[in-house]
């Protein structure tokens, strides 16, 4: 599910940003943005509390005669803490916003193609609320054990040198899975089938994930990253399926 060139992905995200403000789309962006804001505020409050506890814990771990290493350890600790914060915030926001994200993806596809998905009755729509959240939990369960194994690489001599690059690639793959899952789920494509589809053009899909990773790392921009990535993924999905 990719465009021909990675540079096209940048243009795609720029166009997706413009599409967020289009009539017929922007009202479906409000709910994901609101959930993003609420979760960010909650996670920030919790993180500030635990940061001080982790700060004291780290100081106690360092022997007195190695305190001169603090100027090296603190930047590493801050980067690690920031990455964990971003991942936790993004993961939980996606789980709780899943029903709204699926709706946003559906409306974007209709806006682009004029083709509507099969109509759903009230019962189906209500069942879709927990199902959408469970689908994102399935993506998370795929991620967690693999992420844990990759974290162990950071503690293996020599291997730890390339561990950050491996982590970046896996993070990009995970983010690609996470956001392409919305249009895929709307078309009743299973998570297993989605993985097979994305693997056919893994390099470009990793590029998509890296762009999302970068956007999540930029303050303020990370607020709009979720709906922006959903719109971009939906546009690629539609183009790949020859709908456009």
Question: Which portions of the chain are predicted below pLDDT 50?
Answer: 1-4, 122, 243-244
Q: Which residues contact 102 (CB under 8 A, 6 or more apart)?
A: 128, 132, 182, 185, 186
Instruction: Enter the DSSP assignment of 154.
Output: G
Is the four-CA dihedral 186, 188, 194, 197 of positive or negative sign? negative
195 burial via Cβ count (<10 Å: 0-12, 13-18, 19+): middle
| Range list of H helices, the chain | 6-20, 26-61, 70-113, 122-152, 159-186, 191-199, 202-216, 221-240
Distance CA 56, CA 85 (A): 18
- Is the CB of residue 80 less than 8 Å from the CB of residue 55? no
- What is the predicted pLDDT for the residue at 241? 55
Among the listed residues 229, 213, 167, the one whose alpha carbon sits nearest the alpha carbon of residue 237: 229
> Residue 166, Cβ neighbours under 10 Å: how many?
13
Distance CA 20, CA 230 (A): 10
- Is the CB of residue 224 less than 8 Å from the CB of residue 214? no
Distance CA 144, CA 147 (A): 5
- What is the predicted pLDDT for the residue at 54? 66
- What is the predicted pLDDT for the residue at 153? 85
- What is the predicted pLDDT for the residue at 211? 94
Distance CA 184, CA 194 (A): 7
- What is the predicted pLDDT for the residue at 244? 46
- What is the predicted pLDDT for the residue at 29? 92
């Amino acid at each position: 599910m990719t465009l021909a060139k990675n540079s096209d992905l940048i243009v795609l995200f720029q166009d997706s940003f413009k599409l967020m403000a289009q009539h017929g789309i922007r009202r479906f962006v409000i709910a994901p943005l609101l959930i993003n804001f609420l979760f960010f505020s909650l996670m920030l409050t919790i993180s500030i509390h635990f940061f001080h506890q982790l700060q004291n814990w780290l100081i106690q771990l360092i022997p007195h005669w190695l305190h001169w290493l603090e100027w090296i350890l603190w930047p590493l600790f801050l980067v690690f803490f920031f990455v964990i914060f971003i991942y936790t915030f993004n993961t939980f926001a996606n789980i709780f916003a899943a029903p709204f994200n699926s709706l946003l993806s559906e409306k974007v596809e209709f806006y682009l193609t004029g083709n509507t998905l099969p109509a759903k009755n009230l019962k189906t729509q209500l069942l879709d609320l927990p199902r959408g959240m469970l689908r994102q939990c399935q993506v998370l369960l795929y991620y967690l054990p693999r992420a844990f194994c990759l974290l162990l690489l950071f503690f293996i001599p020599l291997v730890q040198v390339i561990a950050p690059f491996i982590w970046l690639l896996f993070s990009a793959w995970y983010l690609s899975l996470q956001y392409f899952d919305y249009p895929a789920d709307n078309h009743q494509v299973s998570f297993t089938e989605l993985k097979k589809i994305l693997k056919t053009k893994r390099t470009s899909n990793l590029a998509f994930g890296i762009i999302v990773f970068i956007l999540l790392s930029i303050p303020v921009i990370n607020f709009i990253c979720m709906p922006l990535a959903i719109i971009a993924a939906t546009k690629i999905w539609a183009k790949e399926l020859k709908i456009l």
